[in-house]
Amino acid sequence: MTLRNRLFNTDGLGVAWYSTTRSEFLESKDHDDGQVVPLPSLYKTIQPPNNDPNFLSICQNNSSLCVLSHIRMSTSVVTNYNNHPFVFGRHSFMHNGLIEDFVSIKRELALLMHEDCFANVKGTTDSETVAALYITHLCDGGSKANWLKSYPLKDMKIALEKTVQAIIDVRKKQGGDTGPNDLNLATTDGKQLLTFRFRNHPTEQPPSLYYSTTAGVRLNRKYPGHPNDDSLGKEENKAMERSEHGAHVIVSSEPTTHLVSEWKLIGKNEAVMVDSASNLTIEKINVSF
């Protein structure tokens, strides 16, 4: 999952990738029916990613079945703490867009958070506030003790809808101009993915958001047949069939391959939900405005 992947966004990079390494060493594994769980490693930098040798090394020496990445175009202070994704236990969260007139409702939104969620907010962005509100709604009131649990996709969607509704309602309560909010949101627990493409306006569109279930074949450098593969054309390393690459879902602000036909634009105010078997469903976002 990638948000804001355009190269002119140069105000920071963040990547969360999941593995079970840490969970395998935890004394208690009862937070997921006694099984080890995928937990996010998190890397953030304010350097352009191509100029960061640490980032290049991480990419060359890691693999994961679930990755969230975000290249930032800032609307607030440029600092590592303000880079997405934001992590609460096993849950990672990121946002493309803005909350309209965030400064005027920031305090009111903070009062809606569980104290553990509020304490976990390290930066100053509207996006991290959205993340903390989401975890508050999702994790049985937001207590840190529940951040390692996995929740059904339908519960994740309901929690994110409550979060968006709270933002709209607080603005209305203050009696100010209820201007539209751009809320392209993405969250994962390492096994499931939920994304929103949302704007509370009757005609205007949110920022773009696409998904693909086939583009990963073209992007995967691990397999023979990739355009940059040195063995391309050799008899012993012919390209693999698409079916051999396995099921996958990629969500991105813009298509990341040159074949536009591989990508589908997510509809306005629609949610894409991907379960642990990579089954994808699309549902309407239930928010009133």
What's the pLDDT tens digit per position in 33-69?
Answer: 667 889 999 999 887 777 788 888 888 888 899 999 8
* The predicted structure's pLDDT at residue 204: 95
- pTM value is 0.87
CATH top class, domain 2-213+248-284: alpha beta
pLDDT digits (tens, 9 = 90+) for 98-143: 999 999 999 999 999 999 999 999 999 999 999 999 999 999 888 9
Which pLDDT does position 8 carry in this prediction? 53
Q: Is the pLDDT confidence value at 235 over 50?
A: no
How many other CB atoms are found less than 10 A from the CB of residue 288?
Answer: 9
The answer to whether the bond into 85 is cis (omega within 30° of 0) is: yes
Sorted by sequence, the CB contacts under 8 Å of residue 26 that are 6+ apart come out as 36
Distance CA 60, CA 20 (A): 19
Label residue 74 left, alpha or beta by phi (over 0 means left) and psi (-120 to 50 means alpha): beta
- Residue ranges per structural domain of the chain: 2-213+248-284
